[in-house]
Amino acid sequence: MAVEESKIDRHATADGGEMIAGDDVNHNDREAKDGEGRKRGKGKVVVVAMDGSNLSTQALHWVLENLVFRKAERDEDSDEIVLFHTQQVPPANCNLGITTQEMIDAIKMQEEEAAVEVLESGKTLCEEHKVKVRTIVKSGDPRDHICEIVEKEQANVLVMGNNGHGTLKRLLLGSTSDHCVHRVKCHVIIAKDLR
């Protein structure tokens, strides 16, 4: 899996590796609160967008294998991963004469079950790596919700896959990753499937 960076600087690390950092992001003036308004500690926050695809799981694996997560004495000062999933729920007024309310309810239930499965799988993986983790689920357009979560959580890094929409939808709406790269105020790592 490869990674694309937007507006990057590369710096050598003490161990001979390479650190990649955005050149237009300043987190020093952030208010230290999490997405629910609680005072946040000193740890970094990495938001990983999980859509249930193999690519989003690969992206989470990449994060756990390549980013260093610090465990602090005070839990609120530890680094953490926020796993985020957006449910694709049909609007209540989508009845086109072929769907019933029961069908819409069944779709909603299926989406809720899928969200639980996706996030629990990711949460288990984070816990196996002994990384602090939280999960968030929203319904609607992932483009807007990802940007909203990044802002609310005051994330240092957003990690997401580059596939989501089909070709036609991407042409009409733009890609989710492109939308987020241009709107969030943190570093963005885009995971690509190289198969």
Residue 40: pLDDT over 60: no
How many helices (H) and strands (E) the chain has is answered by 5, 8
pTM of the model: 0.71
Q: How confident is the model at residue 82 (pLDDT cuts 50, 70, 90)?
A: very high
pLDDT score recorded for residue 151: 92
Considering only residues 15 and 83, tell me which one the structure prediction assigns the higher pLDDT: 83
Residue 1: pLDDT over 80: no
Place of tokens 């609680």: 38
- Provide the strand spans (E) within the chain: 2-5, 8-12, 18-22, 45-49, 80-87, 132-139, 157-161, 187-192
